[in-house]
Amino acid sequence: MKIAFVLDDTLDSTDGVQQYVITLGEWLSSKGHIVHYLVGQSRRTDIDNVHSLAKNIPIRFNRNKLSIPLFSSLRSIKSVLEEQNFDIAHVQLPYSPMFASRVIKCLGSNTAVIGTFHILPYSRREKYGTKALALLVSKSNKRFDSLISVSEPARKFSKSTFNIDSKVIPNPVYFKNKHKKSNRYDSNHIVYLGRLVKRKGVIYLIHAYKQLIDTIDQDVKLTICGDGPMKNDVIKLISELGITDRVKLTGFVSEEEKYRYLNMATVAVFPSIGGESFGIVLTEAMAANAGAVVGGDNPGYRSVLENDDVLFNPKNYHQFSQCLAKFITNPDKLQSVHLRQQKQVKKFDVNIVGNEVLTVYKEAIANRNKSKHN
């Protein structure tokens, strides 16, 4: 099968949508399928068959930094499509009229179009912005053979904005070094991984951590992995609270370093306050064998973590610190949740998710062929 992943944004980023595309693409390639990436302005050369077909500009949307196509060459798009004659075009939603919509309109009738809906709005502005975008690409929407949403909250939002029914298939995750043992029981270690932006809740974490170490008689380390515009605010707050000697800031970490830090975490914590449709980092932490994975109680994270005992209100420092404390001070509780999450995460294994997506592809192609003969 020849498959084109279509993404308005750059492939250079390590955000959730890019991880989805690359993880699925690598898995499909490993199964013998031919995978191409039709994307917005991208420079990376470590992936085969990347077609950078648009000139992008950076914007902020849903409290994230991303890029959108400003211009795309219709001639270049048609050239790639005619040369490759794809069986599947897998479009990431929401999408722009300036690139992905153009790709869809140029596809031949033999190509089945699949979409994956990725977002959940942080505020009304993003909600209404997505609805306006859906109107702009309404003609292209009719070309979809099947639509996937990465979570139940994303499915509901996609139905309300694009008015297309979709099937929930979660984001996939690779399991690496599944049997590697960590040292999380030898020392208490809280690990945060994410951008240093307000929405991800790192400031709330620092306040909750301060409450934690002031109320329990145990040595607890905090490692903050990631970079972002709030870095100086983070450093200043850590200094003001007098916890500089207890907190480690790593800056940006590689994929291997990310796995290592998550693997050694007694508690991997993700205090996002909203705008999450899923939470790939949660499944990555589980797959890395973190002790307990806890997160802010927003719809996307709840769809992954499921249980109240690992969810909290990040802005409530007392509740937040209590959530951390129950795993730091109670090894039996930690082990119980760890075993539960190791069972939960199996459903996100790329081998399971990938085959579900393949089934959608095959059904779409079969239905398209059937309609042509009727």
pLDDT at 134: 74
Is 179 among the domain residues? Answer: no
Q: How confident is the model at residue 42 (pLDDT cuts 50, 70, 90)?
A: very high
pLDDT at 36: 98
Q: Say what percent of the chain tops pLDDT 70.
A: 92
User: Does pLDDT of 366 surpass 50?
Assistant: yes
Q: Do 50 and 114 fall within a single domain?
A: yes
Q: Are 293 and 285 in contact (CB under 8 A)?
A: yes
Is 23 among the domain residues? Answer: yes
Q: Do 95 and 242 fall within a single domain?
A: no
Owning domain of residue 7 = 2-172+349-373
Instruction: Answer with the residue of higher pLDDT: 268 or 70.
Output: 268
Q: Are 305 and 299 in contact (CB under 8 A)?
A: no
Please name the residue that has the structure tokens 């730091």.
Answer: 328
Q: Which CATH number covers residue 359?
A: 3.40.50.2000
Q: Do 214 and 145 fall within a single domain?
A: no
Is 180 among the domain residues? Answer: no
pLDDT at 188: 94
Which DSSP symbol is given to 279? Answer: -
Tens of pLDDT along 217-264? 999 999 999 999 999 999 999 999 999 999 999 999 998 899 999 999
pLDDT at 81: 98
Instruction: Answer with the residue of higher pLDDT: 184 or 238.
Output: 238
Q: Spell out the SS3 assignment of 84-107.
A: HCCCEEEEEECCCCCCHHHHHHHC
**How buried is residue 46: exposed, middle or buried, by Cβ count under 10 Å (0-12/13-18/19+)?**
exposed
User: Does pLDDT of 102 surpass 80?
Assistant: yes
Is 177 among the domain residues? Answer: no
pLDDT at 164: 83
Is 182 among the domain residues? Answer: no
Q: Do 201 and 316 fall within a single domain?
A: yes
Which DSSP symbol is given to 346? Answer: G
Q: How confident is the model at residue 176 (pLDDT cuts 50, 70, 90)?
A: low
Q: Do 201 and 55 fall within a single domain?
A: no
User: Does pLDDT of 107 surpass 60?
Assistant: yes
Q: Do 144 and 256 fall within a single domain?
A: no
Q: What are phi and psi of 240, to 5 degrees?
A: -65, -35
User: Does pLDDT of 96 surpass 50?
Assistant: yes
Q: Do 11 and 154 fall within a single domain?
A: yes
User: Does pLDDT of 113 surpass 80?
Assistant: yes
pLDDT at 255: 87
Please name the residue that has the structure tokens 């306050």.
Answer: 273
Tens of pLDDT along 159-170? 988 888 899 999
Is 290 among the domain residues? Answer: yes
Q: Do 127 and 209 fall within a single domain?
A: no
pLDDT at 62: 47
| Domain count within the chain | 2
Q: How confident is the model at residue 127 (pLDDT cuts 50, 70, 90)?
A: confident
Rounded average pLDDT over 10-36: 94
At 280, list the tokens: 């790939």
Q: Do 47 and 135 fall within a single domain?
A: yes
As a whole number, the mean pLDDT across the chain is: 91
User: Does pLDDT of 152 surpass 80?
Assistant: yes
- Which of 3-7, 27-31, 130-134, 333-337 is least confident? 130-134
pLDDT at 60: 67
Q: For the whole model, what pTM was predicted?
A: 0.88
User: Does pLDDT of 185 surpass 80?
Assistant: no
pLDDT at 339: 96
Q: Do 196 and 240 fall within a single domain?
A: yes
Q: Do 340 and 355 fall within a single domain?
A: no
pLDDT at 257: 94
Is 284 among the domain residues? Answer: yes
Q: Do 290 and 316 fall within a single domain?
A: yes
Pairing relationship of beta strands 64-72 and 54-61 according to DSSP bridges? antiparallel
Tens of pLDDT along 298-318? 999 999 999 999 999 999 999
